[in-house]
Every structure is written in structure tokens, then in C-alpha cells.
Amino acid sequence: MVVTGGRNRRRGSIVALQDGRSEQLMIELQAREAWNQRDYATAQSLAGHAAALARTIGDETSWWNATFLIAEALRKQGLMQDSTEIAEGLESHPLTVGSQALSAKVATLKSFALQGSGNLGSAVEAATRAVELARAAPDGRAIEIEAQNALIAALADSDKLEEAWQECQRLADLLSAEPSSQTTGLGYWAIGNVAFLQRHISEAVSYHQLAARDLSPSNDLALWARFNLGSAQFRMDAGLTGPETLECIERAEMAGSIVGGTERDRLELSLSRAQWLVLTGQSDLAIDRLTAIVDHKDLLAFHIAAQAHLLMGQAFLATGARAEAIGNLEVSEGLFLQSGAADRAATARGLLQGMDAALG
């Protein structure tokens, strides 16, 4: 009787373990489906449940995958600090430490989250490590491309354009051997952005055309919206305010109205239209739009909030409202410095000095 009871208990334990694994797998699949539908809050919640179940049944690999998904979902919701903290926790996990590929993925995620919160110096460090790890990983080309994207973005936002352009050349070599895909589209998009910043306008346009070829609105409308928004912003920074730039803004606005997105997404989209209004001399309309943006700047990364105040300062300067212009330009300079973007801070300071010189 004792032996039979022991066998029954073991059999019951095995069945319970199998049931637990089946439930965990089902919930993880549901979380990834929510991710694919861009329902990031639901993806986060389900991934949290999946991670808890995985920990209960002792499945560390499933726990790692679900926890990584939580961090990515948090980043997509604009919760950059929370995403960074989870990434830092994953860094020391034995599975991460034992794999160059997983270490590269975590470092890339951390870099994007740090960049999103405006901690650009730390973002560059994390992305640099991600690239080094990915290059050393077996079959790590796809991971290396994503890490390279993170490094280029962090360097560009830090105004380290020469370094960013050097990394772009490495990424272009990687992409040239890859078939067209969303991954290559993201890479060409990043290279085009840096080319715009370097004032290589014809190259920039060519790379964005390659990105447009590989990024399809039918595959991912939200990504298509972000691409058009980003292309419009870089065009405007390069002084291009013609019909093609406005079309990019309008496509981004139309796609954004369909996919929705976070409040942060909506603010950044509105900022793009405000920048176009400033550049085309519609200062009063720009001020109205920018006021609503800076009222919610706590949702934005430091360097994005700094850009809003810079545009506000320029708009007020154009209308002759000197005191309001000075106040916004000073805030802009401080936020740019806080994010590590010294060159952009110098732009705000240059406008302030120009105002002083005009009076002198």
C-alpha cells in the first residue's frame, strides 16, 4: 500500500507538472499574440502570469523569455525606467551570463530603454557592449543588426555623428547581405537618419527610399507611422519643408489615428506637426500646439521635451514675445544638457546669445 501510494503521488506530481507547463505555454503564446496585436499592456500582464507559472514549475528558460517580453512591453508603453530595471535584473541571470547572444539581446533592450528615458551616455555604453557581444555570438547576425541599430540611434541622439556614421557603414555592409525584410528596413531607416544629420541629403533620401521599400503599412501600420514621422522630422531638421515632408507628416497622422498608441506617441506626433508650423512661419498655431505638448512633458524623454521647448522659444521669438522666448530656450538648454546632447544645448544657447547681441 505504501509503495502504491508513493507511485500515485509521483504520477500525480508528473501530471501536475505537465498541466503547469501546458498552462504556462498557453499563456505565453497569448502574451505574444497580444504583442503582435500591439496590445502591450495585455502582453505585459500575460507575460507576468507566464513568468510566475514558469518559476513555479522550475522552467528557467520560459521564465527568462516571459520576463524579457515584460521588459519589451514596458518599453513600448513608454515605461522606460521599469523596462531598464528588468533588463538590469536579467543581465545577471545565469542564462544570460552563459550566452553571448542573450547578453547582447538584454544589452540592446537596455540601451533602447535608456535612450527612451533620455540617458544617452548610458545608452551608448549598453549598445556598444551589445554590438561586441553580438559579433562574438555564433549565428548572431540578426542580433548584431538590432544592436547596431541601437548603437547608431544612441550615438546620433548624443550628437556623436562621426561615430554614428562609422557605425552606419558597418551596418550597411551587414544589410547588403540580407534579404529585404522589416529588419533591413529598420536598418536603412537608421542609416538614412544619420545621413540627414550629416547633411548627406541625397544619400539620406536614398536610404529612406530603401527603408520605405522594406517597411510595409500592410505588415505593420504602427511601424509605418513611426517611419513617416521620423523621416519627416529629419527632413525638417535638414531644412526640407516641401510637399514630400508634409506628406510624411500626414501619412504618420493618418496611420496614428488608426493604430492609436500611447499618449507619448501622440505627443511626439503632434510635435512633428508643430515643428513644420514653426518652419513654415505659422508661429501662433505652433504655440497653441506646443503649449499642450510641454504641459505633458513628463511623459517625454529629456531630449524630446527639450526639442519642444526649443521650438516654443523659436515660435515666441518670431512673434516678438521676448520674455517667453528666453524662458523656453533656457529650459531647452537645460534639458538638452541633462540628456547629454551638448550640441543641441548649444543651439538653444546660440539663440539666447543672438537675442542679447540684437539688443546690444
Output the CA torsion sign for 65, 67, 71, 74. Answer: positive
User: Domain for residue 78, yes or no?
Assistant: no
pTM of the shown model: 0.70
User: Domain for residue 298, yes or no?
Assistant: yes
Number of domains in the chain: 3
Domain, as residue range, for 154: 103-113+125-134+142-215
User: Domain for residue 192, yes or no?
Assistant: yes
Q: What is the pLDDT at residue 163?
A: 96
| Same domain, residue pair 356 and 297 | yes
Q: How confident is the model at residue 288 (pLDDT cuts 50, 70, 90)?
A: very high
| Same domain, residue pair 266 and 203 | no
Are the C-beta atoms of residues 66 and 50 closer than 8 Å to each other?
Answer: yes
User: Domain for residue 54, yes or no?
Assistant: yes
What are the residues whose beta carbons fall under 8 Å from the beta carbon of 225, sequence distance 6 or more? 251, 252, 255, 256, 259, 261, 269
Round to whole Å and give the CA distance between 210 and 199: 18
| Same domain, residue pair 317 and 274 | yes
| Same domain, residue pair 359 and 269 | yes
Output the nine-digit C-alpha cell for 281. Answer: 512661419
User: Domain for residue 251, yes or no?
Assistant: no
| Same domain, residue pair 108 and 50 | no
Tens digits of residue pLDDT in 12-47: 555 555 666 888 889 999 999 999 888 899 999 999
| Same domain, residue pair 108 and 58 | no
| Same domain, residue pair 191 and 285 | no
Return the higher-pLDDT residue of 257 and 93: 93
- Judged against a pLDDT cut of 80, whether residue 142 lies above it is answered with yes
- Judged against a pLDDT cut of 80, whether residue 169 lies above it is answered with yes
| Same domain, residue pair 109 and 64 | no
- Closest to 61 in 3D by CA, of 98, 112, 36, 11: 98
Measured in whole angstroms, the distance separating CA 275 from the mean position of its chain's CA atoms is 20
- Assign residue 196 the CATH number of its domain: 1.25.40
Tens digits of residue pLDDT in 314-341: 999 999 999 999 999 999 999 999 988 8
| Same domain, residue pair 107 and 66 | no
127 membership: H or E segment, kind and range: helix 120-136
User: Domain for residue 186, yes or no?
Assistant: yes
| Average pLDDT of the chain to the nearest whole number | 90
User: Domain for residue 164, yes or no?
Assistant: yes
| Same domain, residue pair 285 and 340 | yes
Round to whole Å and give the CA distance between 187 and 185: 5
| Same domain, residue pair 285 and 339 | yes
- Residue ending a domain, among 215, 230, 250, is 215
| Same domain, residue pair 204 and 279 | no
Our separate counts of H helices and E strands in the chain read 18, 0
Q: How confident is the model at residue 3 (pLDDT cuts 50, 70, 90)?
A: very low
Are the C-beta atoms of residues 110 and 88 closer than 8 Å to each other?
Answer: yes
Q: What is the pLDDT at residue 18?
A: 67
User: Domain for residue 5, yes or no?
Assistant: no
DSSP codes of every residue in 176-243: HTS-SSHHHHHHHHHHHHHHHHTT-HHHHHHHHHHHHHH--TTT-HHHHHHHHHHHHHHHHHTT--SH
